[in-house]
């Protein structure tokens, strides 16, 4: 992890109440929160009463998964706790979305909130082991978290044992079933469900898997209660969430904001657009394009990612590059994904940079219909969603490219942070 990406805020004009919860320590001191400071600010995690009250409190708080799934966390906790046999807790810090830095930032600045949430989940589900899964590409981060765990062990803070793991950083390796497969000795690739991890996961035990941000929210709900949690955000979507803002905004970074904050407001928090915008990518490579001017109701989606695309960029070229990346990131297990996503990517590349014939759009639409719901995971679904939204939002560009060939911006350097190669394909899945 570089300090450049870990620093969440570059702006000086940071409006209240942004960043008052998960990132409050950073606001108080401007640095990462060590164990002493964490205990002074929050006290120890109330694991003693977690078995009885945590699931109730989390459910009443209306906390939903912050990894993109938005599943009700309280219900997940309750389901795992109700299964037979000892459970296992997995903290998912894989953050494979290239446009997201929120998990990396949170783990750098408030590691003990995440670890508190994990040991609380362990207490609530009767688990004796917590597995923290981090990408192997962020080895500095793994070392820091290992140190944080050692600090806790030195003062015998936790009953549950916390183990830090580093996994291959493929796009699909952050899927819940990928983590389970890897922790069970296999490759970090998605597995078909059922069985769902909550019934049969790590070591065939019921397994509670949550994104690290979700766990950090749980750590605060356990201390301050559901009513406090609901003081920010909406009735349907309460609390705060971390959003990574990048692209053509004045102050790119990770910001904590109330749930339900519109994409337009979120851009303002990041200092506003730094040039005229052409579109906004909401939800990252797994999300969809939003047209500008932004609909006031449009919200950041998935795992809180917004990328502002300037007007003088080619949305079709950007999308084609992302699709090529996603095609290379297929785990190669399911035919429709292995062949379908690269085929769609090739069609898009022809649309963006080639001399597409009249039959291209028809073929592309047909292929896009062959992706959703036809894989062990949602990888093909995500690729199809992104491509479909690009065809809609950049509809005028599609017609121009079909008629005149590539636009002048198509050959320019990409604005989206598309990794040049898939993260070390030779690295494999173990």
- Of the candidates 246, 245, 247, 269, which has an alpha carbon nearest to the alpha carbon of residue 258? 269
Among 31, 186, 373, 428, binds other proteins (CB under 8 A): 373
* Residue nearer to other proteins on the CB measure, 112 or 367: 367
Instruction: Report, in Å, the least distance between residue 75 CB and other proteins.
Output: 18
* Residue nearer to other proteins on the CB measure, 37 or 381: 381
Of the listed pieces 32-40, 98-106, 146-154, 327-335, which binds other proteins according to CB under 8 A? 327-335
| Binding of other proteins by 186 (CB under 8 A) | no
Instruction: Report, in Å, the least distance between residue 387 CB and other proteins.
Output: 16
* Residue nearer to other proteins on the CB measure, 86 or 332: 332
63 contacts 217 by C-beta, under 8 angstroms: yes
| Binding of other proteins by 333 (CB under 8 A) | yes
| Binding of other proteins by 79 (CB under 8 A) | no
| Binding of other proteins by 336 (CB under 8 A) | yes
- Of the candidates 306, 180, 322, 315, which has an alpha carbon nearest to the alpha carbon of residue 249? 306
CB 355: neighbour CB atoms within 10 A? 11
* Residue nearer to other proteins on the CB measure, 332 or 405: 332
Among 335, 357, 395, 405, binds other proteins (CB under 8 A): 335
* Residue nearer to other proteins on the CB measure, 37 or 199: 199
Q: How far is CA 224 from the centre of its chain?
A: 25
Token pair in block for residue 258 = 């109330």
Among 101, 191, 401, 415, binds other proteins (CB under 8 A): 191
* Residue nearer to other proteins on the CB measure, 171 or 289: 171
CB neighbour burial string for 318-343, b if at least 16 within 10 angstroms, e if fewer: bbbbbbbbbbbbbbebbebbbebbbb
* Residue nearer to other proteins on the CB measure, 166 or 330: 330
202 contacts 80 by C-beta, under 8 angstroms: no
Number of chain positions touching other proteins (CB under 8 A): 17
Among 337, 345, 349, 386, binds other proteins (CB under 8 A): 337
* Residue nearer to other proteins on the CB measure, 361 or 370: 370
Cα separation of 421 and 424, whole Å? 7
Q: Length of the chain, please?
A: 430
Of the listed pieces 124-132, 203-211, 354-362, 374-382, which binds other proteins according to CB under 8 A? 374-382
Instruction: Report, in Å, the least distance between residue 193 CB and other proteins.
Output: 10
245 contacts 306 by C-beta, under 8 angstroms: yes
* Residue nearer to other proteins on the CB measure, 196 or 230: 196
Among 106, 232, 257, 334, binds other proteins (CB under 8 A): 334
CB 423: neighbour CB atoms within 10 A? 18
Token pair in block for residue 228 = 């406090």
Instruction: Report, in Å, the least distance between residue 164 CB and other proteins.
Output: 29
CB 156: neighbour CB atoms within 10 A? 7
Could you tell me which residues come within 8 angstroms of residue 106 by beta carbon, excluding any fewer than 6 positions away?
Answer: 22, 23, 113, 114, 212, 213, 216, 242, 254
- Residues 98 to 157 in contact with other proteins, rule: CB under 8 A: none
Instruction: Report, in Å, the least distance between residue 346 CB and other proteins.
Output: 13
CB 258: neighbour CB atoms within 10 A? 19
* Packing angle of the helix pair 395-404, 379-393 (nearest 10 deg): 80
List of E strands, 212-264: 240-247, 253-258
Order of strands across the sheet that contains 277-282: 253-258, 240-247, 305-310, 277-282, 288-291
Token pair in block for residue 376 = 């062990």
* Residue nearer to other proteins on the CB measure, 98 or 380: 380
Among 192, 234, 395, 405, binds other proteins (CB under 8 A): 192
Among 27, 224, 228, 339, binds other proteins (CB under 8 A): 339
148 contacts 74 by C-beta, under 8 angstroms: no
| Binding of other proteins by 364 (CB under 8 A) | no
Instruction: Report, in Å, the least distance between residue 194 CB and other proteins.
Output: 10
Secondary structure of residue 244 in the 3-state scheme = strand
| Binding of other proteins by 268 (CB under 8 A) | no
Interface positions with other proteins (CB under 8 A): 190-192, 333-337, 339-340, 343, 367, 370, 373-376
């Amino acid at each position: 992890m570089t300090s450049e990406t870990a620093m969440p805020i570059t702006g000086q004009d940071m409006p209240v109440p942004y960043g008052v919860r998960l990132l409050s320590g950073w606001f108080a001191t401007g640095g990462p929160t060590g164990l002493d400071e964490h205990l002074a600010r929050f006290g120890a995690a109330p694991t003693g009463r977690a078995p009885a009250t945590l699931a109730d409190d989390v459910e009443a708080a209306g906390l939903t998964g912050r990894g993109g799934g938005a599943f009700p966390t309280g219900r997940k906790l309750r389901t795992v706790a109700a299964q037979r046999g000892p459970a296992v807790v997995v903290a998912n810090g894989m953050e494979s979305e290239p446009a997201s830095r929120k998990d990396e930032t949170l783990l750098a600045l408030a590691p003990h909130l995440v670890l508190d949430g994990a040991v609380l989940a362990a207490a609530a589900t009767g688990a004796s082991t917590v597995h923290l899964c981090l990408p192997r590409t962020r080895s500095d981060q793994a070392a820091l978290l290992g140190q944080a765990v050692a600090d806790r062990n030195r003062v015998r803070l936790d009953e549950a044992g916390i183990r830090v793991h580093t996994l291959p950083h493929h796009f699909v390796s952050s899927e819940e079933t990928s983590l389970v497969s890897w922790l069970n000795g296999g490759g970090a690739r998605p597995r078909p469900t059922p069985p769902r991890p909550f019934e049969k996961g790590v070591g065939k035990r019921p397994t509670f898997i949550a994104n690290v941000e979700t766990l950090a929210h749980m750590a605060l709900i356990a201390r301050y209660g559901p009513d406090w949690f609901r003081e920010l955000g909406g009735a349907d979507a309460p609390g705060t969430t971390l959003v990574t803002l990048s692209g053509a905004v004045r102050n790119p970074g990770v910001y904590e904001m109330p749930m339900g904050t519109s994409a337009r407001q979120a851009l303002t928090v990041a200092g506003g657009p730094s040039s005229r915008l052409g579109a906004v990518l909401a939800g990252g490579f797994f999300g969809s394009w939003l047209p500008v001017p932004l609909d006031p109701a449009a919200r950041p989606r998935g795992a809180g990612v917004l990328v502002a695309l300037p007007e003088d960029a080619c949305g079709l070229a950007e999308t084609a590059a992302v699709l090529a990346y996603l095609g290379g990131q297929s785990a190669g297990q399911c035919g429709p994904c292995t062949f379908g996503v690269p085929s769609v990517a090739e069609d898009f590349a022809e649309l963006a940079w080639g001399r597409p014939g009249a039959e291209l759009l028809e073929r592309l639409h047909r292929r896009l219909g062959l992706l959703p719901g036809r894989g062990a995971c949602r990888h093909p679904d995500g690729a199809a969603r992104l491509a479909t939204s690009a065809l809609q939002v950049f509809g005028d560009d599609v017609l121009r490219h079909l008629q005149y060939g590539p636009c002048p911006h198509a050959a320019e350097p990409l604005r989206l942070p598309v990794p040049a190669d898939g993260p070390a394909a030779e690295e494999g899945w173990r």
